[in-house]
């Protein structure tokens, strides 16, 4: 008993712009989404489907395969698609993710297509250098399969015109450097922010962060070699990166970093072709990715296809309309993405990895050991981690570890170049007569930046920069 009107495909196609109205079809239903276009979290890409079926687009952006998204869509239903127009060919497309690589079964999957996953926290701090197989994976699109023989890295914006390098050029013409750097997604710990008030984005736990060694050529060496000099420096302000992963329109994943970070002798920006001593795995950008140490994961572009030295920042969706921070008072109706700078260096972070919220410990235990990781952006070294068992009333200083060897600390990196995380650990006598512990950690970096005590004051609609004290409640039984 459906009283909704029946529309032909011909009628739907007429509604293909904001002016004419935006209609789409989904599983035989017709939807007028004109009013939703401006508030779509994925930006104006939604217009690609105007007048058409949503299915092939949602096959590519599989974030949409969630209950709450179907609920949003249902609000806009205006009719039924005429039976003879509801053709299978329009809605069934080859799965663009069918060539994605195999993944480790230990990973906690946040989204399958595109593939987004993090290791279980307890495994994360078992090795100071995260094994590549369990290193968190954050893909916006299908993994492109790149043939290393035909691979070319293009560079635009240098005086001699466009440069085109082979993988062999990169490996043989430039000194190979190895750096250790931790990557963290801007959305790490988003799930805790989500508990304050719903945000939009993948529901990451505390492990959208991992540490690896990366080897390759310094970006600055390559740019100087191909003619970077004072006349380019006088005009240019940014270095843009484009991936070889592209959406339905052929638009590549893109991001940019400030020119001074790219060219600084102390920036250590790397065109990496190895991760943990082996060729980059497909998920992490084979054959070449840029590693921008100290800077948010999003700018560390994988499957690097093009570098552009420019006056402007990248115009990509991810640089302009995503990965920015806002006031807790800003919502999807009032947000102006132009009003905030793109995230580059990340703030200080720490989290507890060996205890989980709601778990319990034995009352007869004399001591409680608490472990975790800590890291700060911009190469700022973490100088201290404080741990509390009573929600922050009293504190203990944890032992820091910055090397692969347990119990051993490597010398401090040069000031401003602490790119790798530290592990920390502390054993504290179990307080007597308590039913529950609120275990908390917070870190302090070399600029004496520390973490905010709670999430509400830093809540933002996209759920990024989530770095409040990590709090874990543990029952004593
Ligand atoms: C993200 C809804 C159509 C591309 C999202 C999100 C929602 C949403 C709620 C946020 C998801 C999250 O991060 O949890 C809708 C609805 C649509 C629609 C209701 C139709 C009425 C489209 C179409 C495209 C598209 C047709 C592409 C052609 C994207 C992209 C993102 C996104 C690229 C961002 C994903 C990311 O952050 O990686 N959409 N969407 N959407 N959407 Fe849509
Ligand atoms: N580069 C390309 N080409 N495509 C992407 O989807 N994701 C970015 C960045 N580089 C992405 C990309 C984001 S948001 C993050 S957090 C890191 O890659 C994740 O790197 P990883 O998958 O190696 O952990
Ligand atoms: Mo990210």
Burial of 138 (0-12, 13-18, 19+ CB in 10 A): buried
Query: Looking at residue 1, what is its pLDDT?
Result: 46
The tokens for 248 are 């339905």
For ligand 1, atom 26, the nearest C-alpha belongs to: 46
Over range 65-80, report the average pLDDT.
93
Q: CA-to-CA distance for 205 and 70, rounded, in angstroms?
A: 24
**111-169 confidence digits (pLDDT tens):** 999 999 999 998 999 999 999 999 999 999 999 999 999 999 999 999 999 999 999 99
pLDDT of residue 406: 67
pLDDT in tens, 391-402: 999 999 999 998
Ligand 1 mean position, distance from CA 367 (Å):
48
The tokens of 223 are what? 């740019």
Q: pLDDT tens for residues 268-309?
A: 999 999 999 999 999 999 999 999 999 999 999 999 999 999
pLDDT exceeds cutoff 90 at 93:
no
| Predicted confidence (pLDDT) at residue 44 exceeds the cutoff of 90 | no
Q: Whose CA is nearest to atom 22 of ligand 2?
A: 137
Pocket of ligand 1 (CB under 6 A): 24, 33, 36, 40-42, 45-46, 48-49, 54, 57, 61, 63-64, 69, 72-73, 140, 200-201
| Residues 204-262 pLDDT 10s | 999 999 999 999 999 999 999 999 999 999 999 999 999 999 887 888 999 999 999 99
Rounded distance, CA 44 to CA 21, Å?
14
- 185 CA distance to ligand 3 centroid (A)? 4
pLDDT of 8 reads 94
* pTM for the whole structure: 0.84
Would you name the residues annotated as active-site residues? 40, 64, 138, 185, 323
Q: How far is the CA of 177 from the centre of ligand 3 (A)?
A: 25
User: Of 247 and 21, which is predicted with more confidence?
Assistant: 21
pLDDT, tens digit, for every residue of 326-382?
999 999 999 999 999 999 999 999 999 999 999 999 988 999 999 999 999 999 999
Ligand 1 atom nearest to 72, measured from its CA:
19
Closest of 98, 80, 78 to residue 33, by C-alpha: 78
What rounded mean pLDDT belongs to the chain?
94
CA of 81 to the centre of ligand 3 (A): 38
Residue nearest (by alpha carbon) to ligand 2 atom 9? 298
Q: Is the ipTM of this complex over 0.85?
A: no
In whole angstroms, give the CA distance from residue 201 to residue 192.
12
The pairs formed by 142-145 with CB atoms below 8 angstroms and a separation of 24 or more are 142/60, 142/96, 142/97, 142/99, 142/100, 142/113, 142/114, 142/245, 143/99, 143/100, 143/101, 143/115, 143/245, 143/282, 143/283, 143/303, 144/243, 144/244, 144/245, 144/246, 144/303, 145/99, 145/282
Distance CA 112, CA 59 (A): 11
- CB 318 less than 6 A from any atom of ligand 2: no
The whole-number average pLDDT for the span 161-190 is 98
């Amino acid at each position: 008993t459906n009283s909704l009107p029946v529309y032909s495909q011909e009628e739907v196609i007429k509604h293909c712009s904001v002016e004419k109205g935006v209609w789409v079809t989904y599983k035989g239903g017709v939807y007028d989404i004109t009013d939703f276009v401006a508030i779509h979290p994925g930006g104006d890409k939604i217009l690609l489907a105007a007048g058409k079926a949503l299915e092939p687009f949602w096959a590519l952006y599989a974030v949409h395969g969630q209950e709450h998204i179907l609920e949003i869509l249902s609000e806009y239903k205006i009719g039924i698609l005429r039976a003879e127009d509801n053709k299978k060919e329009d809605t069934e497309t080859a799965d663009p993710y069918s060539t994605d690589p195999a993944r480790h079964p230990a990973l906690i999957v946040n989204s399958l297509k595109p593939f987004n996953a993090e290791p279980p926290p307890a495994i994360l701090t078992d090795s100071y250098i995260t094994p590549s197989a369990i290193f968190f994976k954050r893909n916006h699109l299908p993994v492109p399969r790149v043939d290393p023989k035909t691979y070319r890295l293009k560079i635009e914006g240098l005086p001699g015109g466009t440069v085109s390098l082979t993988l062999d050029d990169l490996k043989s013409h430039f000194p190979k450097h190895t750096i250790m750097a931790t990557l963290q997604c801007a959305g790490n710990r988003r799930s805790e922010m989500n508990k304050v008030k719903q945000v939009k984005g993948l529901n990451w736990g505390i492990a959208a962060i991992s540490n690896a060694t990366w080897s390759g050529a310094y970006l600055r060496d390559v740019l100087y070699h191909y003619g970077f000099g004072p006349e380019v420096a006088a005009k240019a302000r940014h270095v843009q990166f484009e991936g070889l992963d592209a959406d339905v329109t052929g638009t590549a994943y893109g991001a940019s970093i400030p020119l001074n970070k790219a060219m600084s002798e102390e920036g250590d920006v790397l065109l990496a072709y190895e991760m943990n001593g082996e060729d980059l795995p497909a998920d992490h950008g084979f054959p070449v990715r840029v590693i921008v140490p100290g800077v948010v994961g999003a700018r560390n572009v994988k499957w690097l296809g093009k570098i552009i030295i420019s006056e402007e920042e990248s115009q990509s969706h991810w640089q302009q309309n995503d990965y920015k921070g806002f006031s807790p008072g800003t919502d999807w109706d009032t947000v102006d993405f132009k009003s905030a700078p793109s995230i580059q260096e990340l703030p200080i972070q720490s989290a507890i990895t060996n205890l989980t919220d709601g778990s319990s410990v034995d009352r007869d235990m004399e001591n409680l050991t608490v472990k975790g990781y800590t890291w700060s952006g911009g190469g700022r070294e973490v100088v201290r981690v404080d741990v509390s068992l009573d929600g922050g009333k009293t504190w203990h200083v944890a032992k820091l570890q910055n090397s692969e060897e347990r119990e051993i600390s490597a010398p401090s990196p040069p000031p401003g170049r602490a790119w790798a995380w530290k592990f920390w650990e502390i054993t504290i006598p179990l307080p007597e007569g308590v039913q529950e512990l609120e275990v908390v950690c917070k870190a302090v970096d070399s600029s004496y930046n520390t973490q905010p005590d709670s999430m509400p004051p830093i809540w933002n609609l996209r759920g990024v920069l989530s770095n409040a004290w990590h709090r874990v409640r543990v029952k004593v039984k």
